[in-house]
């Protein structure tokens, strides 16, 4: 089975531009998570969905960040406008059930210049 798929794997953009990160969870998994990883802050949970519904977005840094999950097989994380401090690796993860392990995608390395 395919794992969690993320695209793009690398994104370089200029400050002020809109960035959209994409994620396809493992088929049959009903929870999806977006994380951000930086050296300074480690792994941070941004938002998660259960059955396509956003449950907790308290980790979203500010209004520039938004996430959607229009169906069970696709989610996006959008940053508009992007800033250099948004540079990080963004991971998407999915989970079969509440107390099961999360499986992570390969991540998107975002660089905002």
Interface with other proteins includes 25 (CB under 8 A)? no
User: Is the Cβ of residue 40 or residue 63 nearer to other proteins in the bound state?
Assistant: 40
Beta-carbon contacts of 94 under 8 Å, excluding residues fewer than 6 positions away, are 4, 25, 26, 29, 31, 32, 33, 102, 103
For residue 9, what are its two tokens? Answer: 């794997």
From candidates 54, 66, 106, 111, binder to other proteins by CB under 8 A: 106
45 or 72: whose CB is closer to other proteins?
Answer: 45
Residues 34, 37, 39: CA angle, nearest 5 degrees: 170
Q: Binding pattern to other proteins, positions 84-103, x when CB under 8 A? A: -----x-x-x----xxxxxx
Compute the least distance from the CB of residue 60 to other proteins, in Å: 14
**Helices (H) and strands (E) in the chain — how many of each?**
0, 11
d(CA 71, CA 24): 10
Which one of residues 48, 82, 86, 88 is an interface residue with other proteins (CB under 8 A)?
Answer: 48
Interface residues with other proteins (CB under 8 A)? 31, 33, 42-43, 45, 48, 50, 55-56, 89, 91, 93, 98-107, 109
């Amino acid at each position: 089975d395919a794992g969690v798929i993320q695209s793009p794997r690398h994104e370089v953009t200029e400050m002020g531009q809109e960035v959209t990160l994409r994620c396809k969870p493992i088929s049959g998994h009903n929870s999806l998570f977006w994380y951000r990883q930086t050296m300074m802050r480690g792994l941070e949970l941004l938002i998660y969905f259960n059955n396509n519904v956003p449950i907790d977005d308290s980790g979203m840094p500010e209004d520039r960040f938004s996430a959607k999950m229009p169906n069970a097989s696709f989610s996006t994380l959008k940053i508009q406008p992007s800033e250099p401090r948004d540079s990080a690796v963004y991971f998407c993860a999915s989970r079969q059930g509440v107390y099961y392990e999360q499986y992570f995608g390969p991540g998107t390395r975002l660089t905002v210049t």
